[in-house]
A and B are shown apart, each in its own frame.
Chain A
Amino acid sequence: MSQQDLHALGVAELAARLAAGSVSSVEVTQHFLSRIQQHNSLGAFLATNPDASLAQARAADARLAAGERTPLLGVPLAHKDVFVTRDFPTTAGSRMLENYRSPFDATVVRQLGSAGMVTLGKLNCDEFAMGSGNENSAYQPVQNPWDSSRVPGGSSGGSAAAVAARLVPAATGTDTGGSIRQPASLTGITGIKPTYGRCSRYGMVAFASSLDQAGPMARSALDCALLLSAMAGPDLDRDSTSLDLPAVDYATDLIAASAQQTGTKPLKGLRIGLPTQFFGAGCAPDVLAAVRGALAEFEKLGATLVDVSLPLTELSIPVYYVIAPAEASSNLSRFDGVRYGHRAAHYTDLTDMYKKSRSEGFGDEATRRIMIGTYVLSHGYYDAYYLKAQKIRRLIAQDFQTAFTQCDVIAGPVSPTVAWKIGEKSADPVASYLADIYTLSSSLAGLPGMSVPAGFGAGGLPVGLQLIGNYFKEAQLLGAAHQFQLATDWHQKAPGTAT
C-alpha cells in the first residue's frame, strides 16, 4: 500500500503499521490533514490546527522511537465539538460559543491524548448536541458522504461523516438520545454509547446531564473497542456520576476471536431479543429488510432470536422530550454573557443583557428546548409533566429488565428510515423527534447501545442494526458485533467520496 492510501486503514491497522515503523505518526497525520482540507465541502470539520496536530504526532513518534508499543499510539482522531480542548476552539455548534477557548481538556480528550492519539480537529454537530440531522449547527450543515443532498444524522453528524468519508480513522461522539447510534447508522459506520457513567462527562458541554454519554465512532467494533478502552473509566473527583468501576480492556478478547478458527458457531447460546414495537409499521420496509438480513446472519453464527416486548416504546418520545429539555434549560442557564459566550452589543440593564445575549446566541432548536424545559419545570406544571415523565422513565427502565430475563441483548433498527434530504424535516420539529423512537428508551434507562452497519436500503443508503445490552455489558455488545463483522463486510463499504 502506498502512502496515498493510508486513509483506507482503520485504527487497528494504522496502529500496526506505526508499531512496525513502516509509517510515522507525522506522515499519517499529514495525510489525514490534507484529506480534511480536500473534502472541506462535506462540512464535517469546524476547526483544525495543523501545528498542534503535528506537535502531537511528533510526540507520538518520539514515544514509538523509544520503544513504546501501546494500542493507539500515533493514530489520529477528531473530537466532536462538545468536548472542550485547549488546542482548538470549542463551539458546541453554537454561535453562543463562537470565540470560546477552554483553559482545559475534557477528561475523554486527555485520556485519548495520553494514549498517544493525535487530534486532527473538531467536528461539526447540532447546536449543544440537540438534533438528529446536524441541521441545527449554527455554522454549516454536514453532508452525508453517501449522498451529499442528505443529512448524516445527528447530533454527532460531523463525527459520522468524517469517519464514513475516511477523513479520520475514528472520532468521538456523544449520545443523549441516540446521537452516536443514529448518525452511525445513517452513514454506515460503527458506534457505541456505553452504559451511562462509563465515560467521564467532565469537559463535555452539558446538554441533559442524566442522559449525556460519550462514546467512540469508527469503522469497526474492534476499532471502537480500542478507543473505548482508553475513554472509559472512573473520574471520581471530577464527575459525580462517573461509575466507580475500573477501566476495561475491550479489545484483547476481540483480537483473540479474530485469530480463532471460523466455521464454528461463535455466538452459540446468545439470545437476541427482538422488541415487537421495533418491527412495526413505523419502520420503513427497506430498513426492516436490512435489519432482518443482519439478524439472519446472527442466527447463522449460532445466536437465537426471541420476541420480547417494550410496551412503552412510543411513550419514550414525550418522556425524553420532557426530561431532556428540562435538564437542558437548567444547563444552558449558565450562558449569561458574563463569564464566557456571546454578549449582545446593545442592552439597557442586566436583565436586558441576559435576554438579548441569550436570544442572539442560541439558535431555534436550543431556544425551543429551553422554552419547553422552562415550562415543564415551572410552578403548576412540574407534577403533570416533569414528574410524570420521570415516573414513566422508571417503568421504561423496568421493561428493559423484564426483557433481559428472556434475552442477553436486544436488537432492532436504529432509525426508522435511511438518511433523509437536508431540509426535509427542518420545518416540523415534532416530526424530527418522532424519528428518534428506537434510540430514546435505552438512553432513558442508561443502557449501552450500538449501531453496526447492516446493509443498504433505498437509494443505496446505509442501514444500521442496533444492539442494546444490559448495564455494563459493553464487552458483550462489542463481541457480538465483532463476530458479525468477521462474517460480513458491510462495515468495510465506503462511499465513492472516500477513495
Chain B
Amino acid sequence: MALTPQDIARVANLARLELRPDETERTLHQLNGFFALVEQMQAVDTDGVEPLAHPAALLGEVALRLREDIASEPNQREASQVSAPAVERGLFLVPKVIE
C-alpha cells in the first residue's frame, strides 16, 4: 500500500499544516519509505494480545490517579501571557471566527 498525494493533503489538513508542493512531494516519498518499514508489523501474530498504551499498566499502577479539584497554582495571568502572540486586556486575541 502506498500513500498518494491526496493522502498527504488530507493528513496535512487534519494536522493543520500547510505543505509547499516540493514539501508534499518529499513528504510523500519519505512517508512511503517509512511505511514500507511499518508493514513488517503485520507479520507478528497479535491475536488475543491486549494493546499496551502505557508502561504504567505494567507497574501495577492501573488506576488513574486524580487529585482534589482545588486551585493549587497561584494566579500568574501576566506571566503566562508574556509569550502570547497577541493579548489585549488579559485576553488572547484570535482572528474573527463569528461574523
Contact = CB atoms under 8 A, between A and B. Distances in A.
A47 interface: no
A340 B52 contact: no
A350 B53 contact: no
Contact of A390 (B8, B52, B85): B52
A339 B38 contact: no
Contacts of A240: 64-66
B82 A103 contact: yes
Interface residues of B, number: 54
Contact of A358 (B17, B27, B37): B17
A319 B39 CA distance: 10
Contacts of B2: none
A378 B14 contact: yes
Contact of A359 (B19, B51, B56): B19
Most central of B52, B72, B76, B80 by chain A CB within 10 Å: B52
A28 to B, nearest CB: 30
Contacts of B31: 368, 371-372, 375
Contacts of A343: 85-86
Interface stretch (A114-122, A278-286, A381-389): A381-389
Interface stretch (A1-9, A15-23, A293-301, A391-399): A391-399
Secondary structure of the A contact surface, majority rule: helix
Contacts of B10: 378
Contacts of A196: 55-56, 59
B49 A237 contact: no
A347 B96 CA distance: 12
A371 B17 contact: yes
B95 A353 contact: yes
B6 interface: no
A356 B52 contact: no
Contact of B16 (A315, A354, A446): A354
Interface string A392-436: 111101000000000000000000000000000000111001000
Contacts of B7: 375
Of B58, B76, B97, the most chain A CB neighbours within 10 A belong to B58
A391 B33 CA distance: 23
A101 B81 CA distance: 9
B44 A103 contact: no
A374 to B, nearest CB: 4
A384 B79 CA distance: 44
Interface in A335-353: 336-343, 347, 349-351, 353
A367 B17 contact: yes
B17 A103 contact: no
A185 interface: no
Contacts of B19: 359, 367
B15 to A, nearest CB: 4
A98 to B, nearest CB: 10
Which of the four size classes fits the interface of chain A?
35 or more
A358 B86 CA distance: 16
Contacts of A444: 55
Contacts of B44: 312, 315, 388, 391-392, 395
A487 interface: no
A147 interface: no
A353 B97 CA distance: 12
A111 interface: no
A39 to B, nearest CB: 30
Contact of B83 (A100, A388, A393): A100
B88 interface: no
A372 B3 CA distance: 11
A384 B55 CA distance: 21
A99 interface: yes
A372 B34 contact: yes
A180 interface: no
A339 B84 contact: yes
A237 B34 contact: no
Interface of A: 97, 99-101, 103-104, 195-197, 210, 236-237, 240-241, 243-244, 312, 314-315, 317-319, 321-322, 329, 333, 336-343, 347, 349-351, 353-356, 358-359, 362, 367-368, 370-372, 374-375, 378, 384-385, 387-395, 397, 428-430, 433, 444-446, 471
18 contacts: A101-B82, A101-B83, A104-B76, A196-B56, A241-B54, A315-B44, A318-B41, A341-B83, A349-B95, A350-B94, A358-B15, A378-B11, A387-B51, A388-B42, A389-B41, A394-B52, A397-B52, A397-B58
Sorted from nearest, which 6 A-B pairs have the closest CB atoms?
A446-B55, A390-B51, A343-B85, A103-B79, A394-B52, A391-B46
Interface of B: 3, 7-8, 10-12, 14-19, 23, 27, 30-31, 33-34, 37-38, 40-42, 44, 46, 49-56, 58-59, 61, 64-67, 72, 76, 79-80, 82-86, 92, 94-97
Given A100-B83, A103-B79, A336-B16, 15 more contacts: A210-B53, A240-B64, A318-B41, A343-B85, A347-B95, A353-B94, A359-B19, A367-B27, A370-B17, A371-B11, A375-B11, A390-B53, A392-B41, A429-B30, A430-B37
